[in-house]
Amino acid sequence: MSVIDTSVVTAQSFEEWRQITRLLLADGTPPHEVQWQAQSNDGDLFGGEQPIKNRDRSVPAMHVSKELLNMLELAACYRADDRWSFLYRVVWRWQGGDRTVISPADEDGQRLHAMVKTVRREVHKMNAFLRFRERAAELGAPQFVAWFEPLHDVLPRVSRHFAKRMGYASWLIATPEATAVWDGSTLLQGPPSATGPLEVDDEGERLWLAYYRSTFNPARLNVSAMEMHMPVRYWKNMPEGKLIPGLISHAAAGAQRIAQTAAVGERVGTTVHVTAEAAQPERALPTSLDQCRRCDLWRHATQVVEGIGPQQARVMLVGEQPGDQEDIAGKPFVGPAGQLLDRALRAAGLDRDSLYITNAVKHFKWEPRGKRRLHKTPAQLEIDACMFWLEHEIDLVQPDIIVALGSTALKALLKTSKVNLTHMFGQEISHGAQRIIATYHPSYVLRVPGDEEKSAAFAEMVRAFSHAKNVTTS
């Protein structure tokens, strides 16, 4: 007696299909005797009962290779009315000893490989073109939301990817067919929760659009290549998608030729053939910091971060370079290091508003680590390139004393690549017309392990600031 009614078999997920397939194989039911149905008649994605008799019976194992099992799981995401019956036919042939079923030369094998390739491509596209929007904090609500319209049922696979990538940040991904929710520890799949993009006032999205617009290079625009790698159908649900048609039109209207002309001088070691009419005279050197191109750090920074403070300040603080938050805000020492700096200044009796605060390097140097931008120490070449602006600030302010925060700042002020920061603690250094005292950078104090070591480093900062204060009151 058969343990399953094969008149109509309903499968709504790969695991459900796998369980039913084991029972069918155990009964020796050939593919032509099974009628598969994608979902139950009521349309409930998570409802429905399987017509399995004697449910207490143990489900036998299905012996397939790891390669085939992985291909079956991927192909199960492919939207086709006959996908379950097709996959059952593949397994039936495999169980019968026909290993050519996974060969691209076989008719079924060719289709299986095509389904797998299509699903993998759709997973890649969803990973690449899904855009989260951050919404205002609300108790119990996901912090980030996104809408995507996949061509195949890849949401479960993609949601596992984002659960690992987003860490403890909660999010919701809505599609026309289903919803995935991550609360920071548990991943849930459910029925559709939206019919279109979720309206969110995301301030970070405006920053992203400004960045995308500013980095779009019309001189290198290849519309057909762009549409091949980022198909037009994805544009409508991407924030930058609404900018692309206008940017393409602008390039076609002449920006492409202008941008190429302006970029000729930046191409080192390559001969660029231009007509005499298109050639432009050599441009003057930048006259302001935001136009500086003395090194390449400007290419990857959001903006230049200038020094702030009164021009008659008697004390100047020089750090290394802006951090991630400083790069976004356009002001020095506004992140965690800046908060620790404020504590040390208060402990020394110094008013931050009376100081001139700047950095040896004015652009943020970083390297990507997932979605984060991690600080990368500036090279000596970059320190030297930015020295022009630091000297300009010193000449403008003419402070009584300069506090060097960390070795990079000390190297810049002493104009040498060889310094030993800790050997110079507690002593005032005369360098030309400058009086300098060195101490730790606040970010070092944040990173140093151990409470005792952290307290000692903080105390060293306070001593340096107290020395600077004594100079201004003597």
Tell me the CATH number at 402. 3.40.470.10
412 lies in a domain? yes
Mark whether 15 and 136 lie in a shared domain: no
Domain count, the chain: 4
281 lies in a domain? no
284 lies in a domain? no
Q: Of 91-100, 225-234, 266-275, 356-365, which gets the smallest average pLDDT?
A: 266-275
- At 376, the pLDDT band (50, 70, 90 cuts) reads very high
Mark whether 302 and 450 lie in a shared domain: yes
Mark whether 385 and 342 lie in a shared domain: yes
DSSP class of 434: E
Mark whether 335 and 453 lie in a shared domain: yes
Final residue before a domain boundary, out of 124, 145, 161: 124
pLDDT in tens, 133-180: 988 777 778 999 999 999 999 999 999 999 998 888 999 999 999 999
Higher pLDDT, 261 or 354: 354
For residue 65, give both structure tokens: 């290779």
Reported pTM: 0.50
104 lies in a domain? yes
CB–CB of 99/63 below 8 Å? no
CB–CB of 469/349 below 8 Å? yes
pLDDT in tens, 84-136: 999 999 999 999 999 999 999 999 999 999 999 999 999 999 999 999 998 87
Final residue before a domain boundary, out of 108, 124, 140: 124
Distance separating alpha carbons of residues 319 and 401, to the nearest angstrom: 14
Question: In angstroms, how far is the first alpha carbon of the chain from the final one?
Answer: 103
Q: Give the mean model confidence (pLDDT) for residues 404-415.
A: 92
Q: Which residue type is seen at 231?
A: P
Distance separating alpha carbons of residues 130 and 173, to the nearest angstrom: 9
Q: Give the mean model confidence (pLDDT) for residues 52-79.
A: 77
Give the pLDDT score at 162.
Answer: 93
- At 455, the pLDDT band (50, 70, 90 cuts) reads very high
Domain span at residue 447? 290-473
Instruction: List 374's β-bridge partners, or say none.
Output: 367
Mark whether 247 and 216 lie in a shared domain: yes
Burial of 250 (0-12, 13-18, 19+ CB in 10 A): middle
| pLDDT above 60 for 263 | no
For residue 142, give both structure tokens: 């996901």
Distance separating alpha carbons of residues 317 and 171, to the nearest angstrom: 41
Ranges of H-type helices in 297-406: 324-329, 336-348, 380-397
197 lies in a domain? no
Mean confidence (pLDDT) of the chain: 85
Which of 30, 27, 21 is closest to 64 using CA atoms?
A: 21
Mark whether 154 and 225 lie in a shared domain: no
Mark whether 221 and 86 lie in a shared domain: no
Burial of 91 (0-12, 13-18, 19+ CB in 10 A): buried
450 lies in a domain? yes
Higher pLDDT, 279 or 170: 170
276 lies in a domain? no
Q: Give the mean model confidence (pLDDT) for residues 208-216.
A: 84
- At 283, the pLDDT band (50, 70, 90 cuts) reads very low
- At 55, the pLDDT band (50, 70, 90 cuts) reads very low
Mark whether 377 and 404 lie in a shared domain: yes
Mark whether 183 and 220 lie in a shared domain: no
Burial of 97 (0-12, 13-18, 19+ CB in 10 A): exposed
Which of 118, 71, 99, 89 is closest to 30 using CA atoms?
A: 89
Distance separating alpha carbons of residues 268 and 69, to the nearest angstrom: 52
CB–CB of 78/115 below 8 Å? yes
Mark whether 255 and 387 lie in a shared domain: no
Mark whether 344 and 451 lie in a shared domain: yes
Final residue before a domain boundary, out of 107, 124, 141: 124
422 lies in a domain? yes
Mark whether 352 and 374 lie in a shared domain: yes
